[in-house]
Structure 1
Amino acid sequence: MQLFAIPTGNFKLDGGAMFGVVPKSLWSKHYPSDENNMINMTMRCLLVVDGDRRILINNGIGDKQSEKFFSHYHLNGDDSLIKSLAAAGFAPEDITDMFLTHLHFDHAGGSVKYKADRSGFETVFPNATYWISAPQWEWAMHANRRESASFLKENIQPIEESGRLKLFDHPGELFPGIGVRFYNGHTDGQAIPFIKYKGKTIVFTSDLLPTAAHLPLPWVMSYDTRPLITLDEKEAFLEEAVDKGYVLFFEHDLYTECCTLARTEKGIKVDKAMRLKELQ
């Protein structure tokens, strides 16, 4: 098995929204913001190559929305999905399985693109099965008013129309060496991959833990639909992660790609920060 970090670009969100009820005087010591209170985050995906299987976990924001839409998120950086795949030696046609932790636009927008003549949409990965948890699919199809702006139909419907959508109902081993668990505080049916790799467990944290700065239990995003559930999920996950020595792979942390954890008198904190390449 080989793992490749696939950066797809950066975007900015309001720091207050990202850290919920935590005052800026606290969170800004751990994650910097600009003069407009915006914090810069990445959209870092993960490619798992195992034999003939090439599994991409999430795919960033894509490039098909309007200029006005993108202006709200201040896209920046030189990385893109296609460029980063090419740097790893792959093209979209090589991807056999497209795994989506959930369907928010910054995680699933790269699933779909305009057709060459812009007459409609088609999937970016023409040979891939698209894996999405059934609870998340149903949640997105009947989106609540608070979350509906994150579920864009042009990111979702073309996947179903392609005939290559695969829904899974239960947590467990989805691929050899890759187990999946459901976490429901951020959005219903968020599916988090646990990857067995070189004697370690790599966890793609997605929006369960968007950055290393979100390790403190009360530091929960305002975007989470059920923050009290997130609190319980984080606590259980972090206790297990520190006890079992998991390596956390962050999708959104611009400054920390991976880390291990340590238990301290002030709670569970980062022990060692590292790049994914250091585990190769």
Structure 2
Amino acid sequence: MNLHVINTGFFKLDGGAMFGVVPKTLWQKTNPADEKNLCTWAMRCLLIEDGNKLILIDTGIGDKQDDNFLRHYYLHGEDTLIKSIHKAGFSENDITDVILTHLHFDHCGGATVYNKDRTKIEPTFKNAVYWSNEDHWKWASIPNPREKASFLKENIFPLRESGNLEFVGIREETPFRSIDFLFVDGHTDKQMIPLIEYKGKKIVFAADLLPSVGHIPIPYIMAYDTRPLISMQEKELFFTDAISKDYIMFLEHDSVHECCTVQETEKGFRVKDTFKLKEVL
């Protein structure tokens, strides 16, 4: 098995929205904001070579949205999803599977693209099976008012219409030999957290269960989370497992740190170490 970090660029979101009720004087220590109160966030994906499979986890925001949409998020950086896949030595047609942790636009927008004449939206990876789960798909397909702006139909329905969409069974055996899933409900219903077995280590693609190192303290919950009290419970259980089982957390949104480990201190859970993924491969 080989792992490749796939950087797809950066965007900006309001710091208060990203840390909920936590005062700015606290969260800005790890995530400083600009003059508009916006913090920079990564959209970092992961590519896994495992036997005859080439598995991509999440796809970033993509490039099919219009300028009116994208200007709210201040996309920047030289990296894109496709450029990073090519840099890793692969093409779009090589991807066999795409795991979508959840269907918010910054996680699944790159899963679909316009065709050449911009008359139809189709899967970016034509040879790939796209994986969600049935509960989350239903949740995203008929969105609640809180998440409606994050579940965009152009990101979601073309996957089903293409016939490339399949579901991971919540209580069934995983379809991957080296990837298991943790299902969590605090951020959105049945977000899928991939747990990857790699050379005796457990690498966890943390997605929005843990967006950044700055979110490790239990009360540091995004205002985007639909069930914040459940998020806190899920984080506590997850960190307890992470410490006892030596999990390495791969951070999708942290603009500085690719990976981290956690520890329990007198003040609660805190970061232990931060490092690049290549340092543990």
Give TM-score, length-normalised by structure 1. Answer: 0.98
Partner of 1:148: 148
The RMSD of aligned alpha carbons is: 0.9
Partner of 2:100: 100
Equivalent residue of 1:143, what SS? Answer: coil
The amino acid of 2:126's aligned partner reads: P
Can you list the C-alpha shifts for 1:111-162, whole angstroms capped at 9, x where unaligned? 1000101111111000000000111101001110110110000001110011
Partner of 1:253: 254
Measured in 1, the distance between the counterparts of 2:86 and 2:271 equals 32
Alpha-carbon deviation of 1:260?
1.5
Within the alignment, does 1:230 sit opposite 2:231 as a pair? yes
Can you list the C-alpha shifts for 1:235-268, whole angstroms capped at 9, x where unaligned? 1001110111100000000011001222222222
Partner of 2:89: 89
Counterpart contact for 2:168–2:174, Cα < 8 Å = no
Partner of 2:59: 59
Partner of 2:14: 14
Partner of 1:239: 240
Partner of 1:272: 273
Partner of 1:130: 130
Equivalent residue of 1:140, what SS? Answer: helix
Measured in 2, the distance between the counterparts of 1:10 and 1:236 equals 30
Partner of 1:170: 170
Alpha-carbon deviation of 1:10?
0.3
Counterpart contact for 1:174–1:180, Cα < 8 Å = no
Measured in 1, the distance between the counterparts of 2:50 and 2:167 equals 21
Partner of 1:30: 30
Counterpart contact for 1:135–1:169, Cα < 8 Å = no
Equivalent residue of 1:76, what SS? Answer: coil
Partner of 2:112: 112
Measured in 2, the distance between the counterparts of 1:27 and 1:272 equals 19
Equivalent residue of 2:93, what SS? Answer: helix
User: Structure 2: which 5+ runs fail to align?
Assistant: none
The amino acid of 2:201's aligned partner reads: K
The amino acid of 1:276's aligned partner reads: L
Measured in 2, the distance between the counterparts of 1:152 and 1:78 equals 25
The total of aligned residue pairs comes to 280
Partner of 1:40: 40
The amino acid of 2:265's aligned partner reads: T
Give TM-score, length-normalised by structure 2. Answer: 0.98
Counterpart contact for 1:134–1:189, Cα < 8 Å = no
Can you list the C-alpha shifts for 1:3-23, whole angstroms capped at 9, x where unaligned? 111010100000000000000
Measured in 1, the distance between the counterparts of 2:142 and 2:153 equals 11
Measured in 1, the distance between the counterparts of 2:156 and 2:252 equals 20
Counterpart contact for 2:210–2:216, Cα < 8 Å = yes
Within the alignment, does 1:262 sit opposite 2:263 as a pair? yes
Alpha-carbon deviation of 1:207?
0.4
Equivalent residue of 1:25, what SS? Answer: helix
Measured in 2, the distance between the counterparts of 1:218 and 1:272 equals 20
Structure 1 runs (4+) deviating above 4 angstroms are: none
